[in-house]
Structure 1
Amino acid sequence: MPGVISGIEGELRSNGINVESIDLDGDTVELIYLTAFPDVDVNHQEMGRALNTFIAAAEKDEWEPVRVEATVLRHQEDVQGTWYAEPEWFRQYIEYDISAEEFSARVIDTLSEDEP
C-alpha cells in the first residue's frame, strides 16, 4: 500500500491539483501539475486553488514563502503554460498590504501560455 501524501503536496491534491511533481527544497518551489482543463488557456480558478494552498500553509506557519514556479501540463510532455508567484507577494497578501485582486493580477501577469 502506498504511503500517505501529506504536507503541501497532500493539500494541493486535496484541493484538486493533480501534482505530477513538486520540489519544495531550496529557494524556489517547482510545481508541475496536470490540468483538469486541457484547453488552450490555463484555467485561472485552478491556479487560484494552487495559490490558496500555499497561502493557507503560510498563514498556519507551515510554509515560509519562496518563489513558486508552476508548469501546467495538458498531458505528459504537453505544456499548457507556466506561471510564478514571488515570495513578497505572498507576504504582502497575508499582511493585508495587497488585496486578493492585486495578488491575482500579479500572478496572472506572469502567465505564459504555449500554443498547442
Structure 2
Amino acid sequence: MTIDESTLARELRADGIDVADVRVSPDRVAVVYTTTLPAERPAHGEMGRVCNTVIDLVEAGDLEPCRVDATSLRFEDDVQATWHVEAEWLDGVTNYRISEEEFSARVLDTVETDPDVEADLGDADTPRATDGDDGGAR
C-alpha cells in the first residue's frame, strides 16, 4: 500500500466527497464523510463515489484491496449510517470475478442506519470526525 491519509482524502474530495476524516492502516481504510443529502439513509451516489475512488486506487496499484469502513454524517455529531466494503469484494471487482452490480449490491447490504457509533469511535483505527485530529487528512 503506497497511499497515505492525506492523499486518500484529496482523492475522495476530488470525487466530490466532503471528507471529515480518513485513517489508513495496513489492513483497513476508514472514512468519515459529511453527506450532502441528510436523509434517513445514505445517498447511493456518494457511496458509489467513495467506492469508485477506492477501486481506482486499487487498480492503479496505490492501494491493496482491504476492508473499507465508512461513516456518513448528516452533521458533525449526527451519524446517518455506516457501511463497509470487504477486501475480497474489491479484489473480485478489480479482477473481474464479480460484476459491478454484484459489488454494489453487497455494499448496499452492509448499510446500518442505526449503528453503535460509540463502540466504533472508540477504536483507534476508526476515524473520529469530531476529535479535532484530522490525521493529516485536511
The alpha carbon displacement at 1:26 in A equals 3.5
Amino acid paired to 1:22:
V
Partner of 1:78: 78
After TM superposition, list the pairs within 5 Å mapping 1:37-48 onto structure 2: 37-48=37-48
The alpha carbon displacement at 1:6 in A equals 5.2
Partner of 1:59: 59
Task: Give the percent of matched residue pairs that are identical in Structure 1 and Structure 2.
Answer: 45
- Give ranges in structure 2 of 5+ residues lacking alignment: 116-138
Amino acid paired to 1:108:
L
Cα deviation 1:29-86 (Å, max 9, x = unaligned): 1110000111111101110000000000000001111100001000011000000000
Q: Does 2:111 match 1:111?
A: yes
Indicate the SS of the match to 1:24: strand
- Give ranges in structure 1 of 5+ residues lacking alignment: none
The alpha carbon displacement at 1:91 in A equals 0.5
Indicate the SS of the match to 1:62: coil
Partner of 1:24: 24
> How many residues of Structure 1 are paired with residues of Structure 2 in the alignment?
111
Amino acid paired to 1:57:
L
Is residue 8–residue 22 contact of structure 2 (8 Å, CA) maintained in 1?
A: no
Structure in which a larger fraction of residues adopt strand? 1
Structure of higher RCO (CA pairs closer than 8 Å, 6+ residues apart): 2
Compute the RMSD of aligned alpha carbons: 1.5
Distance 1:95 1:27 in 2: 19
Moved over 4 A (4+): none
Partner of 2:94: 94
Partner of 2:69: 69
Partner of 1:49: 49
TM-score, scaled to structure 2: 0.77
TM-score, scaled to structure 1: 0.91
Distance 2:25 2:89 in 1: 20
Amino acid paired to 2:31:
L
